[in-house]
Amino acid sequence: MAGAPVNPCRVIAASSGRGWKPAGLRTGGWVLAIEESRIVNGVVELSFFTSHHSPSPNLHLPFPLCSIHHRFCLFRLKEMPCSARRGRQPAAVSLRKQGIWLAVGAYALWGVLPVYWKAVQTVPALEILAHRIVWSLVFLAGLLSLQGGWTELRRALTPRTAGVYARAAALLSVNWLTYIWAVNAGRIVETSLGYFINPLVTVILGVLVLRERLRRLQALCVALAALGVGYLTWHHGELPWVALVLAGSFAWYGLLKKTAPLPTVHGLTLETALLALPALGVLLWREALGRAAFGHAGPGVTLLLGFTGVVTALPLLLFAAGARRVSLATLGLLQYLAPTGQLLLGVWAYNEPFGRARSVGFGLIWLALLAYTIEGWWRARAAVRPAL
């Protein structure tokens, strides 16, 4: 790479599976968007193209992995030869399209997941959870072996890392158990509410735990969502506890995973490994009582229980692949596909009630989410707008 360094720039970063992934870059009057990234000899190399209408060389930004822990960092850019950027922008557009379809596939699978749990609803939720953990571990361990990732996992396994993933595993088990039980108890609509309000619960956790400051519109969105939950509580005479447990456990899980050092497959393998012994204990206990479903409740149920690992891991893998190719703003919009699918399934396929009270409560929450999404989109656009 040749060329003199230009002025320092600010990297606008966002969370990704391996750390902080810059989503755009501003230097003087230029705004640059990521085109390609790779890791070479422990250094993250990012290629950018500018959004300015005037011709400009492509740029290359190398920085050490230790810098990814800083949301805003200063670096110096080096020019790449102009010939290096030819033909790359169409390839980047193609990658983004692939990423959108991969993410849509992940959220669509999560949206229809209640159908799978309904198919094994004769099995107690705790036993389904135990099978989900054990078979997920089997599937992920095989996948990790194919990737040759065991060495990386062992190298990264420190007491601190194990502690982070143990807490994450506990939250994940609470989330999975609540969801499976609620689906088979006829409360799919309430599970969808949990995942609708999850982004706003995450914002609240950011304020309480990370001491982040709420912007005015964010505060209004949280207040509207709280009003919707309060209305549902008042009308039905009880808190929508399923939704709150799902949203709270998943928000805490996401908060922990922000500091987790392992990639998606490695991390989920470790989490299921930490839960495997208790899960095996549950399965052996059910077998000793003569109440186990696996191998006793017919070939259909046995096969479905054995494939719980695949239906758990497949959407996660699709999501991880899609998240590397699209922006967080796009993912923020697509994330509502899953609870929307769950809501439609609950109301139309399983005839769960959705009367006036739920319409009002959900309407307030949807209004809050609409405002929250628009505000986030507007700020993301403003962040990469050329400086005047």
Q: What is the 3-state secondary structure (H, E, C) of 90-146?
A: HHHHHHHHHHHHHHHHHHHHHHHHHHHHHHCCCCCHHHHHHHHHHHHHHHHHHHHHH
CA distances in angstroms from 5 to 8, 24, 44, 80, 308, listed in the order given: 9, 19, 18, 11, 53
Within its chain, how far is the Cα of 129 from the centroid?
20
pTM as predicted: 0.74
Which long-range contacts link 54-59 to residues 24+ away (Cβ below 8 Å)?
56/30, 57/3, 57/81, 57/82, 57/85, 58/82, 58/84, 58/85, 58/88, 59/32
DSSP SS3 for 64: strand
- H-state helical runs in the chain: 88-119, 125-147, 150-156, 159-184, 188-208, 216-236, 241-258, 264-288, 299-306, 308-323, 328-334, 337-344, 356-383
Residue 112 buriedness (CB in 10 A; 0-12 / 13-18 / 19+): middle
Amino acid in position 205: L
Query: Phi first, then psi: what are they for 230, rounded to 5°?
Result: -65, -40
Which residue in this structure is represented by tokens 């703003």? Answer: 329
Look at residue 145 in the predicted model and tell me its pLDDT. Answer: 94
Q: Are 306 and 150 in contact (CB under 8 A)?
A: no
Look at residue 95 in the predicted model and tell me its pLDDT. Answer: 80
Look at residue 129 in the predicted model and tell me its pLDDT. Answer: 97
List the structure tokens of 176. 């999975």
Mean per-residue pLDDT pooled into runs of 10, the chain (388 residues):
36 37 39 43 42 34 31 34 46 77 92 96 96 96 92 90 94 96 96 92 85 84 91 87 94 85 89 96 95 92 96 90 76 86 95 92 92 79 55
Within 10 A of 114 (CB to CB), how many other CB atoms are there?
A: 23
List the structure tokens of 47. 């290629």
CA–CA separation, 47 and 95 (whole Å): 14
